[in-house]
Chains A and B, each alone.
Chain A
Amino acid sequence: MRGFARRHPVWTVILVVLAAVLLWLAFAVWPKWLIALIGKKKVFLNAVFNGITLGGLYFLVASGFTLIFGLMRNVNLAHGSLYLLGGYVGFEVAALTGQWILAFPVAFVVVGLLGMLLQYFVFRRMEGEDLRQTLVTIGISIVLADLMLWVWGGDFYNVGAPEWLNGPLTTFFVTAVKSSGDPVYMKYPLVRIVIFLASVVVGVGIWLLLNRTRIGMLIRAGVDDRDMLSATGVRIQTVFLGVFAFGAGLAGVAGVVGGTFQSIAPGEDIRFLLASLVVVIVGGMGSIPGAAVGALLIGLAEQLGSVYAPTYSVVLTFLIMVLVLAFRPQGLMGRA
């Protein structure tokens, strides 16, 4: 933190001012001129909350993607299909057992196993051939997409959240003051907040795993120089298998999350593949904190954009990507 402030004083000031403005926007009761300028505070706060929770979902998808990319240099363009498969599996499990919680571990295991199979039978055979691997993932995503269309059809599915998660939660954000002087508190769906908190937990968990454990040490060493790592006697193929399974499993879990807070249908795979591509490009390839920052930025840009500039929200997302590429091609948190 302090090092960053010393190296980039201007950026630090800009970031602090931005954070202060955001905090003020979130906590202050908006004056009349501001409401006249950009509309009600409720709309704004809702968009911000939607953006942050969507960012949490994007982070879940993109973290697996960036983990796999960082270690194996494999741009897994079938990642979106893994997400969608996780969603369908979660739906089936939740519908069969009636247990929403059970959907997560099952989706994780099933999709993780599929990832393991892919790594073992396909990608291991073409190690070092980045382009061929990427082309193969495109082929796999076409095949998986069609197989899933075959099994589940073109309908929208929704993974139902349990009773205790339904309904809104009254937050402590004041959106307006009634004429009688009582403050109006903002209400927000509980399930979204729980899911966001869960993704924060997952993110912190991955960070701890990578930075505080022996396996994480191996993975980080593999990201830096995998030839040297295998020369020291580490069974790198096992590490690859584990990371691929974990990354794929995360995509599967994200699928259940996505199915709970939005819906799953054919086409969502490409949407989330694109989202994770942009998140990873913006945040920096192979970096977990980068994925978190990128996911938050893209989620916020998408939601705020769709509220304040409905027909140009994609352009906003795209603009962020172009700006990052133009000034920092390795991504915000990426290493040069």
Chain B
Amino acid sequence: MAVVEQAPSHAERSWLERVPPVYWILGIMLLIMPAIAGDFILYQIFGWGFILGIISLSLMFLAGYGGMVSLVQMTVAGCAGYMVAIFGTSAIDHISLGWPWYLAIPLAIAVAVLFGTLAGWLAVRTEGIYTIMITLAIASAFFYFTRQNYVIFNGFSGFNGVLPPQLFGVDWRQPAAFYYLVLFWSVLAYCSVLYLSRAPFGLALQGTRDNARRMAALGYNVVAHRVAAYAFAALLAAVGGILLTWQSAQISPGSAGIGPVIDILVIAVIGGTRHPVGPFIGALVYVVLKTFALDALVAIGMSGERFQLLIGIGFLVIVFWSPDGILGLWDRWQRARARDPLLDRGGGSP
């Protein structure tokens, strides 16, 4: 606050003026996107990419701010998707309860958050790499359970025909409408993570990441902070999971299988876990690769099925040379530019 009092001219600027210009440009571009891009790009690239971004953002929140690499986020998303299908309407009407959306969606989110929090409560009993092992075990247990249980989860085939409600007379599965729906939730998720990272809770969480023992000595309840972080991350993942279910209109064990679970980690790592924008960048890269890799691979004479190989090698390269993902590469490039000896800028800021 002291800084603000010394510089009243800064304090008088409203929050709208303090938004960096990059955000304005990006925001306007994203808003007018339906006028530029075709339906396929809107629905399959941006829609899907943003949804994966939201789910991956929940992992980034835990990994980046809490130092907990949780592989259970996709499973929480899948759980929310299943709950929407079970409480709401789907083509499998002997299981779906067919409740109205204002009951089904909050209930689905509540169940998923509860599940994510419980998983987190189990995972925070251990630290570091053990977290990966335990969350991976929970994720695979969920996958195998949904696959073999026919009473609640309808086994191998899962649920299809899970559609968003016709709210305000809009069909939310139309590409443009769905794009705006997903964009709204992505922006909300992004801003909430950004806000939370600067709020006391987020700062305390980053403190537990850097030195848990010191935070405990300062009187912070480390376990409670971590479990709360899992709960918040589960909320994000649940929103993403419901959107993902609507996007493909179906949910099956494969939607939250081991492959997608790892994909969410890959997306977060490729994008970078330092800043909330990383997962969205990673997700767009992933989606573009996944959509067009087939054509590209065929063009250079390889079988289009080798997409996983491409992703795996890309992931390895990123982890090997830039642990902070694309964001890390960007930072490094900026630093390298600032240190250009020919222009004699020295080490000054650009």
Contact = CB atoms under 8 A, between A and B. Distances in A.
Contact of A281 (B137, B266, B311, B320): B137
Interface string B184-213: 000000000000000000000000000000
B149 A311 contact: yes
B27 interface: no
Given A281-B134, A325-B122, A325-B134, A146 B140 contact: no
Nearest to A311: B149
Contacts of B132: 75, 77, 131, 134
A75 B129 contact: yes
Contacts of A314: 141, 144-145, 148
Interface in B300-350: 303, 305-306, 308-309, 311-313, 315-316, 319-320, 323
- Size category, B interface: 35 or more
Interface in B135-173: 136-138, 140-141, 144-145, 148-151
B319 A132 contact: yes
A227 interface: no
Contact of A139 (B150, B305, B312): B312
Interface in B232-253: none
- A interface majority secondary structure: helix
B315 A325 contact: no
Nearest to A312: B149
A71 to B, nearest CB: 14
Contact of A318 (B126, B130, B145, B308): B145
B150 A145 contact: no
A315 B265 contact: no
- B interface majority secondary structure: helix
Contacts of A325: 122, 125-126, 134
A143 B319 CA distance: 14
Interface in B261-295: 262, 265-266, 269
Contacts of A140: 312, 316
- Size category, A interface: 35 or more
A158 to B, nearest CB: 23
A329 interface: yes
A326 interface: yes
Given A138-B265, A143-B316, A325-B122, A310 B134 contact: no
Given A314-B145, A325-B122, A329-B125, A138 B313 contact: no
25 contacts: A75-B133, A130-B128, A131-B69, A131-B128, A131-B129, A135-B319, A138-B265, A139-B315, A139-B316, A139-B319, A142-B262, A142-B266, A142-B315, A149-B308, A150-B309, A270-B258, A274-B144, A280-B133, A281-B137, A311-B150, A314-B148, A318-B141, A321-B137, A321-B141, A325-B134
Sort A-B residue pairs by CB-CB distance and give the 10 closest, nearest first: A142-B312, A139-B316, A143-B312, A318-B141, A146-B308, A146-B309, A274-B140, A314-B144, A139-B315, A314-B145
